[in-house]
Structure 1
Amino acid sequence: MSSGNRRVFFSVSGVLGLCCALTAAVVTGLPLWIRGTALCRTGAELVNATGPELDKFLGELSYGLFTGQRLKQCGLGGRASRFYFFPELQSVVPTALHVTIIFFCGVVILFSSVATGFFFVNAFGRPYEMLQGPMGLYLWTFICCVSSGLVMTLFASEVKLYHLSDRISNFNEVHFVFQTHSESYDRCFWLFFLVFLLHGINFLLIRLAGVQFPFRETKESDGSGGADLMY
């Protein structure tokens, strides 16, 4: 492949990597990962509410990795409040798992930025060759792809297996019991899924640029062709 085409592929990969880094950084701090409704079961059972009457006892709930907000409805009007995972909810959420999710979000942000720099340097410069072979170009993209997949998997596990919405809804409640009525993944979760897909596309672009997969045997080439890539 000509150096011009390779420069184009690496430039596109660099732009995608930059978009991934910025997107991951923004969505990590936004409280738009889960959106749902919580039923005030105590109030509904007291008046035997059914059908449309249940709407008076349905509150709203939305949260992310650091903060969220809830609107509780118990038949007498809504009670809106904002909550924070740290330090308020440390006693009711699986803290170790939650911190692990935030850690992998940081890994995605960091290594997406690193991959972006490597792609652009390879596109427009002649970087110092640190390792033999094309391992590095795939390595950073692989780390980003796996980390973003782990973020989604671990967050989904925390929400479903640990009933995170129920725990948040019943936090600091003494007289009322709330039950999750509905919940769905909000835009930030799906944006992280987009980050995962974009890193997968980068894998394809690296291959289209003529870089062999690390596990494939390649013939040794003379000259300084390998020095055109930053590893």
Structure 2
Amino acid sequence: MGETKKGFVGFTIFVSLAAIGLVVGAFVTEHWISAFAQKTNNTLTKNATVETDGTLKFTGNITFGLFAGTRFVNYGVGARRQTIEVVCDGSSGYCLLYNTTRANYNKRTKLQTAIDEYNNASAILTDTSVKEELYEFGLFPYGLWVATIVLSSLGMAWGLVSIGFSIFNIVGKPIETITGPMGLYLWNGLALLFSALGMVMYLVLYFRYYKYNVLPLEDRLAHFSTEDNANLDYSFYLLVGATGLYLINLLLLMFSGVRLKCGFTREADKVIDNGIILY
């Protein structure tokens, strides 16, 4: 591999490290979703006033990530900070944003209660054309949530593999297709694919559920709503950035002149020739 190609391949190492850092940042930060809650009934809306701390009565702000978050909700007596935890049950297939500052429910009990409320509400409907939505009870699918985590993690894992093989291509002499240029395209391509799939899974979760509600049922019964007031926040865009960086890696490999080739390299031919001569 020529020096120019080695330079491009070496640069992909730093790009992959940056991409992995972005995914880690997305996982540990709690700003995948940012939502604004407000009362929907007219009487309380007309009486909403600005508090001394700058917050508006009968409103709230909610931010959360893949595992936890924070909410400030003003029920008319000042904004109260509350911690959110994502609670899931794989056997039932549902997740819930649990308010950990409320001690009246165990989180597993709260999740099961929400599931039971959803199932009971769906069972008593007489109009078969009407369907109760999960988000109305503060629930969302476990499958989409775990798929986002697993796919994004796999994207990060393939990014690490691409770094290892990039270093090997710079300092070593790969003799097989999978360890040479073909492997560089493959590992970066897999990192791009899985990161993009993780991003898509979360977009489905957002547009199908979070966009309409991120509040528990008790808040909705108190006439609070976040419908059309929930947006994707910077933690999600860190994952988008990581996906873009993996795409840049593939473009760098293309511009470097590293070609997709199958079979053994010249180094392999030399090894075979030397073996025949020794024989």
Which of the five TM-score ranges fits, normalised by the shorter chain? Answer: 0.7 to 0.9
Trace 1:1-231 onto structure 2 (pairs within 5 A). 3-41=2-40, 44-49=41-46, 55-87=56-88, 89=96, 91=115, 92-127=139-174, 129=176, 131=178, 134-163=181-210, 166=213, 168-173=214-219, 175-180=221-226, 182-213=229-260, 223-224=266-267
TM-score, length of structure 1 as denominator length: 0.81
Q: Percent same amino acid among aligned pairs?
A: 24
1:165 positional shift: 6.2
Structure label with greater radius of gyration:
2
- Name whichever of 111-120 and 87-96 sits farther off: 87-96
CA contact (8 A) 1:40 1:73 kept: no
1:40 positional shift: 2.8
- Name whichever of 64-73 and 183-192 sits farther off: 183-192
How far, CA to CA, are the matches of 1:193 and 1:20 in structure 2? 10
How far, CA to CA, are the matches of 1:34 and 1:226 in structure 2? 55
One-letter amino acid of the structure 2 residue matched with residue 170 of structure 1: P
Instruction: Give the aligned length.
Output: 219
One-letter amino acid of the structure 1 residue matched with residue 73 of structure 2: K
CA shift digits 1:42-94 (9 cap, x unpaired): xx533352897793222101011111111112222122211111347265121
How far, CA to CA, are the matches of 2:59 and 2:23 in structure 1? 32
How far, CA to CA, are the matches of 2:74 and 2:164 in structure 1? 50
1:22 positional shift: 2.1
Distance 1:108 1:50, change over 3 A: farther
1:226 positional shift: 9.1
**DSSP 3-state at the match of 1:15:** helix
**DSSP 3-state at the match of 2:24:** helix
How large is the Cα RMSD of the aligned pairs? 3.0
CA contact (8 A) 1:207 1:213 kept: no
**DSSP 3-state at the match of 1:139:** helix
1:9 positional shift: 0.5
One-letter amino acid of the structure 1 residue matched with residue 225 of structure 2: Q
| Structure 2, unaligned runs of 5 or more | 89-94, 97-110, 116-138, 271-279
TM-score, length of structure 2 as denominator length: 0.68
How far, CA to CA, are the matches of 1:109 and 1:37 in structure 2? 32
Which structure would you say has the larger RCO, counting Cα contacts within 8 Å and 6 or more residues apart? 1
How far, CA to CA, are the matches of 1:221 and 1:118 in structure 2? 16
How far, CA to CA, are the matches of 1:145 and 1:73 in structure 2? 42
How far, CA to CA, are the matches of 2:47 and 2:190 in structure 1? 50
1:221 positional shift: 8.7
CA shift digits 1:125-147 (9 cap, x unpaired): 22453648743211111111122
How far, CA to CA, are the matches of 2:268 and 2:191 in structure 1? 27
One-letter amino acid of the structure 2 residue matched with residue 74 of structure 1: Y
How far, CA to CA, are the matches of 1:116 and 1:149 in structure 2? 19
CA contact (8 A) 1:21 1:109 kept: yes
CA contact (8 A) 2:174 2:180 kept: no
How far, CA to CA, are the matches of 1:222 and 1:127 in structure 2? 8
CA shift digits 1:140-192 (9 cap, x unpaired): 111111222222222121112123661x3225547513211623222211121
**DSSP 3-state at the match of 1:126:** coil
CA contact (8 A) 1:93 1:164 kept: no
- Name whichever of 131-140 and 21-30 sits farther off: 131-140
CA contact (8 A) 1:170 1:178 kept: no
How far, CA to CA, are the matches of 2:199 and 2:191 in structure 1? 13
How far, CA to CA, are the matches of 2:70 and 2:210 in structure 1? 17
CA contact (8 A) 1:40 1:74 kept: no
